A and B are shown apart, each in its own frame.
Chain A
Amino acid sequence: MSRARASTDPFTAVADPTRRALLDRLREGAAPVAELAAGFAMSRPAVSKHLRVLRDARLVRERRGGDDGRQRIYELTPAPLREIARWTAAYEVFWPAHLARLKRHLERPPEDPTS
C-alpha cells in the first residue's frame, strides 16, 4: 500500500459538507459536471472547484464522455474512503486493548522486593 500523498489528503477533502454531498451523489453512479451542479445551490465553477479537490484527493476521477466525448464525467474511486474507514476501525480496536494494558500496569500489585 502506497503512502504517497495526494496533493489533498482524503481526510481534509471529506471534511467539507458540499464535497460529502457530491460523494453521496456519485454513489448513485457517474455523472457529468452539469448534472452534478444542478443538484446544488451554487455556481457550476464552484462545484467544479469542489470536484477538483476531490480529484486531487483521488476520491473521484474524471473521464471524457457524452456523445461528442467532450463532457467531463465524474465517478467515485473508493480507495481513499477505505483508508478513512480503516483509521476508525483500527483505533476502535486499538484503544480498548491499549487501555486494558494501562489498567493492568497500574493495578498490578506492588512487587515484593524479597521474592
Chain B
Amino acid sequence: MMPAPDSVAPREALPHVVRTVVDIAASPARVFEALTEPAELAAWWAGGDAHVSDCGADPRPGGAWHVRLVDGNGVERLVAGEYRVVDAPHRLEQSWQADDDAAPSVVRYDLEPREVGGTEGTRLTVTHSSPVALATATSAPGRASALAVHVARHPHAGPPRAVVVGRAPSATLHLAPRRRATWLVSA
C-alpha cells in the first residue's frame, strides 16, 4: 500500500543547510587545533557509549580526514572526507561522508574571536550543506548565494542549537525510522 502522497510533502520542503552556532571559552587557535589534530578529535568525538577506535587528519587542502567510532554494541561507523579550505584559525571546510549517508556533504567551520564568560573565546559557526544544497549549487550557480541569504543567524551564548536554513521542513513530519542515525546523536 502506498502512503498518501501528502505524507511526504515534497512541496518546497527541502531544507538545504543545517547551521549550528556555539560560543566556546577557548581561543580560535585552540578551537582550530581541536578541529584538526587527530589526538584532539579522538578526545571529543567520543560520547555516550561510543568511542573513537581510529582517526586521522591531514589538515591541508586535499588532505584526508576520518574518524571511526565504535558504539556499545560494537557497531562501527566511519565518517571521512577531505579538507577543502584550511585557514587557521579562521575557517575550515571539509567534505563529509558518513558511511550511512547516501551522498557526501560539506561542513564549514567559521571561527570568530569573541569574549566568552569574561575570557578570550570563540564563536564557532558550523554550516553543514546537504547533498541537496551541493547539487543545487552545481546545477544553478546563482542559487548558492541565494541560499546564503536565507541564513538566519541565531547568535546566543547558550548551548549549541541547530538551525535549518531553507524552507519549512514539513517532510520531517513523516520520517523513516532514524535507527541508522542514532549513533550520531548520543551525547
Alpha-carbon distance between A78 and B1 when the two chains are bound, in angstroms = 12
Is B160 in contact with A95, judged by CB distance below 8 angstroms? yes
Alpha-carbon distance between A99 and B13 when the two chains are bound, in angstroms: 26
B75 in the interface (beta carbon within 8 A): no
- Specify which of B25, B131, B175 is in contact with A85 (CB 8 Å cutoff): B175
Pair A100/B22 contact, Cβ less than 8 Å: yes
Which residues of chain B from 43 to 97 have a CB within 8 Å of any chain A CB? 43-47
A40 CB–B CB distance under 8 Å? no
Interface string of A67-93 (1 = CB under 8 A from B): 000000001111101111111111111
How far does the Cβ of A82 sit from chain B's closest Cβ, in whole Å? 4
A15 to B10, CA, bound (A): 12
B184 and A94 form a contact (CB under 8 A)? yes
Residue A49 lies at the interface, judged by CB distance under 8 Å to chain B: no
Asked if B176 contacts A26 (CB within 8 A), the reply is: no
Say if the beta carbon of B9 comes within 8 Å of chain A.
yes
B2 contacts across to A, CB distance below 8 A: 75, 77-78
Q: Are B130 and A11 in contact (CB under 8 A)?
A: yes
Q: Which among B9, B22, B171, B180 is the interface contact of A99 at CB below 8 angstroms? A: B22
**Nearest CB of chain A from residue B42's CB, rounded to whole Å:** 11
Name the residue of chain B whose CB is nearest to the CB of A87.
B130
Task: Report A-chain residues with C-beta under 8 Å of the C-beta of B187.
Answer: 97, 100-101
Whether A90 contacts B178 in the complex (CB less than 8 A), given A20-B12, A81-B10, comes out as: yes
* A64 at interface, CB cutoff 8 A: no
- Which of B30, B159, B184 is A106 in contact with, Cβ under 8 Å? B30
Q: How far is the CB of A61 from the nearest CB of chain B, in Å?
A: 10
How far does the Cβ of B84 sit from chain A's closest Cβ, in whole Å? Answer: 18
Smallest CB separation, B66 vs chain A (Å): 16
- A contact set with B: CB distance below 8 Å: 1, 3, 5, 9-12, 14-17, 20, 23-24, 26-29, 75-79, 81-107
Question: Chain B: residues with CB nearer than 8 A to chain A?
Answer: 2-3, 5-15, 18, 20, 22, 24-26, 30-31, 34-35, 40, 43-47, 100-103, 105, 124, 126, 128, 130-132, 134-136, 138-140, 159-162, 164, 169, 171-172, 174-176, 178, 180-181, 184-187
